[in-house]
Chains A and B, each alone.
Chain A
Amino acid sequence: GAGVSQSPRYKVAKRGQDVALRCDPISGHVSLFWYQQALGQGPEFLTYFQNEAQLDKSGLPSDRFFAERPEGSVSTLKIQRTQQEDSAVYLCASSPTAAEGSPLHFGNGTRLTVT
């Protein structure tokens, strides 16, 4: 079956531009996570959805970052007025349940470069 799909795979933005990153999770997966992975580091949590409800956004680095999942399936991470420090790989992951201990299924990520 299809895995987690992210688009675009690569995005180059000029400083100050807005970007939108899309995540299409595995069909039926309840939980959806966004992570930011800087070069040479592990993924850092950004935000978490259970169905359409955003239950945790404690990892969003500033109010320029916004995420939504309006119908409980596809999610979009939006970054306004991009800065160079936003350059990273943005990973989306989904999980079939909200149960603890449920492993994550990751997409291949979107590599964002801000010039």
Chain B
Amino acid sequence: AQSVTQLGSHVSVSEGALVLLRCNYSSSVPPYLFWYVQYPNQGLQLLLKYTSAATLVKGINGFEAEFKKSETSFHLTKPSAHMSDAAEYFCAVSAYTNAGKSTFGDGTTLTVKP
């Protein structure tokens, strides 16, 4: 069984500040981990994925995430927030045992203040 916990349903940062969105996972087998972004009235878009290669994963729009097995975490960061980063972010986990079916967290809404 797998699960995802996203700590903080709402995060607010100032433009230019560091973005940190937290994700902890539970998986009985080695996981694949993903971050997706969802803009209003749109579907989810892939930001980045971890599939057991490098533990530091770089994605689109300047985002990156670090897989820490000992902490069962996959936190998403961006050094400098931009107004266009305001959206909802979802962390997801899947495993080879379930044919790619992903389990999602409840999401974190990021607000960027000017």
Contact = CB atoms under 8 A, between A and B. Distances in A.
Whether A and B are associated in the same complex: the answer reads yes
Interface of A: 4, 31, 33, 35, 40-45, 48, 50, 55-56, 91, 93, 95, 98-109
B68 to A, nearest CB: 18
Which of B34, B98, B100 is packed against the most chain A CB atoms within 10 Å?
B100
A101 B101 contact: no
- For chain B, the bracket of interface size reads 20 to 34
A5 to B, nearest CB: 10
A108 B41 contact: yes
B43 A107 contact: yes
Interface stretch (B12-20, B69-77, B103-111): B103-111
Given A56-B101, A99-B100, A106-B36, 8 more contacts: A4-B43, A42-B106, A43-B44, A91-B43, A98-B100, A103-B34, A104-B34, A108-B41
Nearest to A44: B104
B32 A41 contact: no
B106 A106 contact: no
Contact of B51 (A48, A50, A101, A105): A101
